[in-house]
Structure 1
Amino acid sequence: MDQKRKLAVPLVCHGHSRPVVDLFYSPVTPDGFFLISASKDSSPMLRNGETGDWIGTFEGHKGAVWSCCLDTNALRAASGSADFSAKLWDALTGDELHSFEHKHIVRACAFSVDTHMLLTGGVEKVLRIFDLNRPDAPPREVDNSPGSIRTVAWLHSDQTILSSCTDIGGVRLWDVRSGKIVQTLETKSPVTSAEVSQDGRYITTADGSSVKFWDANHFGLVRTCDMPCNVESASLEPKHGNKFIAGGEDMWIRLFDFHSGEEIACNKGHHGPVHCVRFSPGGESYASGSEDGTIRIWQTVSHDDGEAVQANGSSAKVKVTVDEVTRKIDGFNLSKDKKIDEKEEATDL
């Protein structure tokens, strides 16, 4: 119980006018690390990943944004939307670099590790791979998904693609060269969240009221943890792999011990179901996005005596100076005080 008392009050990030449905942290870059959020308000937002401070808003989608990501260097962002498009953005200026048109809602997008490709999936049941060096070229299409695509990810140094479906259980692993499914990780319920661990060892999935961990190389089920409610998202602590978080319909974000499955902490504060949870790249903090339109950044209890944990939930060695953040956001040309009230309501599909 002592650990629960140590948990700091979260940083609350306002700005979205509709539910927050996806979150993505960049790796640590020379300018620190960054957090991008997708919302049904049609406007993805970029923040300082350590402080939660708003950097800019990507303006251009005309429907709910379901998915967002940053490339390895946090220089470009991508987003997938109900307006039948995926967009590529300059994360330094906020400019739209390219819009990739689809025939239906785009639910998921992911940059390849080498940052040269963008993967998308959605209601069309088609995986598309766009070459970012030739953005006008037709994408490569892999079109045997058994259902509407909910999540996508790359693994095995961009040789394998992972996808899950909105309406049927399981995670499918596709060989990029052949375009064929090489393995299916079986689950009873549809997988609403699938994350490849930072070291490439584990795939963390949330389905129904369980969180599962799979061996990302041999595809065996490593561990199943039953949750007290239906969970929509789960994330494994990236540095030591000894904790994980889960959030879902009961509005709480729970922190668990990976090995024992024991609950370490239960964080309350959101006023609606939690749609997404993600650990920061160093594991010092984690973010949650909710139906209530807010993002909350929580400090992780640190067991490392030699590591100073700041009040804002960051470890001293990845402290981002004001100058560095200014260098990153200088020139981001989007207006912070846009009148959200005057915007047309985003398509909520």
Structure 2
Amino acid sequence: MDKKRIAVPLVCHGHSRPVVDLFYSPVTPDGFFLISASKDSSPMLRNGETGDWIGTFEGHKGAVWSVCLDTNALRAASGSADFTAKVWDALTGDELHSFEHKHIVRACSFSEDTHLLLTGGIEKVLRIYDLNRPDAPPREVDKSPGSIRTVAWMHSDQTILSSCTDMGGVRLWDVRSGKIVQTLETKSSVTSAEVSQDGRYITTADGSTVKFWDANHFGLVQSYNMPCTVESASLEPKYGNKFAAGGEDMWVRVFDFHTGEEIACNKGHHGPVHCVRFSPGGESYASGSEDGTIRIWQTGPLTHDDTESVAANGTVGKVKVSAEDVSRKIEGFHIAEEGKTKEKESE
């Protein structure tokens, strides 16, 4: 029996349509949080450790393609097919700002200092909104060569990273000049681009390869061929010794960063995996799927060589214990006022 394949995830229900984006907040004094985007138009906020639902942000009229939280997890942002990007109060669920666009917003990202919101989408324009002056027109960076799929901030908000839906490569923009200063070439379009927590690496998924780039010198560090077309990949943030990837074969796999060897293979989703993200401490990773669920997979106790990975050695008992420990730890912790944000039931 292949022990690698035994893993018991926390399964988070609530979305009635595919989950297309996930974002973990950094660790805050209140713990860390997970926000999800779905085609059901209602982003959801959860406790990052337990997956427990906290609240739903209601107001979008179309599929939500992208979500993020600011550094303190006090505000959330979402980009939608209803041609808006919205900023929300993450404590109450109230809509703070709605920024109109001329087409679908596919990507959004808060700057590190939390004062700016970056958006991109079908219009091929990167926009920077000053959240201290939300009524002021946004700054528009030069036109992207293609429809924008992902965006991220780098280098203490001095550089913007973007990828396109209809062409390969990752473009790096100088925020001051608004010009592309570097292009990281890929054969297929980049469906996922993540800047590592320590700022050292850019992790990209394009077609059936996962690549790691030096975020400061822009050289290619590693490139691994995957068993299928992958839509998303995420580097473990604490030691950087492994990464998770998911895609069209519905499996969520974990690989060794240095060798590309498969460490774990988790089955459970009933549709393609659209997004995979590691939690900020690396003790778990979340996957979102076409099946409308989010699954949170424990990695087990973190060590440098990570020999005790729960998913790898199949010790199911450890998963249960850690889930119980976690729920005990955060018992009595509430972030949303009751009644303010209600979970939408699946229709």
Asked whether the 8 Å contact 1:94–1:332 carries over to 2, the reply is no
Matches within 5 A, 1:1-349: 4=4, 8-304=7-303, 311=320, 320-323=329-332, 325-326=333-334, 328-330=335-337, 333-336=340-343, 338-341=344-347
Instruction: Measure, in 2, the Cα distance between the counterparts of 1:56 and 1:147.
Output: 35
State the SS of the aligned residue for 1:261.
coil
Deviations 1:43-98 (A, max 9, x none): 00000010001100000000000000000111000000000000000000000001
- Scaled by the length of structure 2, what TM-score is found? 0.92
Aligned length: 337
Deviations 1:194-230 (A, max 9, x none): 0000000000000000000000000000000000110
State the SS of the aligned residue for 1:4.
helix
Instruction: Measure, in 2, the Cα distance between the counterparts of 1:44 and 1:80.
Output: 10
Asked whether the 8 Å contact 1:93–1:331 carries over to 2, the reply is no
Instruction: Measure, in 1, the Cα distance between the counterparts of 2:294 and 2:96.
Output: 26
User: Are residues 118 and 332 of structure 1, via their aligned partners in 2, closer, same or farther at CA, if it must alter by over 3 Å?
Assistant: farther
Cα deviation, residue 321, structure 1: 2.0
Instruction: Measure, in 2, the Cα distance between the counterparts of 1:339 and 1:298.
Output: 24
Cα deviation, residue 8, structure 1: 3.5
Q: Can you give the 5+ residue segments of structure 2 that lack an aligned partner in the other structure? A: 311-317
Instruction: Measure, in 2, the Cα distance between the counterparts of 1:144 and 1:23.
Output: 26
- Scaled by the length of structure 1, what TM-score is found? 0.92
Asked whether the 8 Å contact 2:87–2:97 carries over to 1, the reply is yes
Instruction: Measure, in 2, the Cα distance between the counterparts of 1:163 and 1:196.
Output: 11
Asked whether the 8 Å contact 1:50–1:312 carries over to 2, the reply is no
Q: Write out the 4+ residue segments of structure 1 that deviate beyond 4 Å after TM superposition.
A: 305-310, 312-320
The residue aligned with 2:315 is: none
Cα deviation, residue 34, structure 1: 0.5
Deviations 1:232-256 (A, max 9, x none): 0000000000000000000000000
User: Are residues 274 and 121 of structure 1, via their aligned partners in 2, closer, same or farther at CA, if it must alter by over 3 Å?
Assistant: same
User: Are residues 154 and 315 of structure 1, via their aligned partners in 2, closer, same or farther at CA, if it must alter by over 3 Å?
Assistant: farther
Cα deviation, residue 331, structure 1: 5.1
Instruction: Measure, in 2, the Cα distance between the counterparts of 1:136 and 1:319.
Output: 44
Q: Can you give the 5+ residue segments of structure 1 that lack an aligned partner in the other structure? A: 342-349
User: Are residues 179 and 3 of structure 1, via their aligned partners in 2, closer, same or farther at CA, if it must alter by over 3 Å?
Assistant: farther
Code of the aligned partner of 2:337: D
Instruction: Measure, in 2, the Cα distance between the counterparts of 1:131 and 1:16.
Output: 31
Code of the aligned partner of 2:59: G
Deviations 1:118-166 (A, max 9, x none): 0000000000000011111100001320000000000000000000000
State the SS of the aligned residue for 2:4.
helix
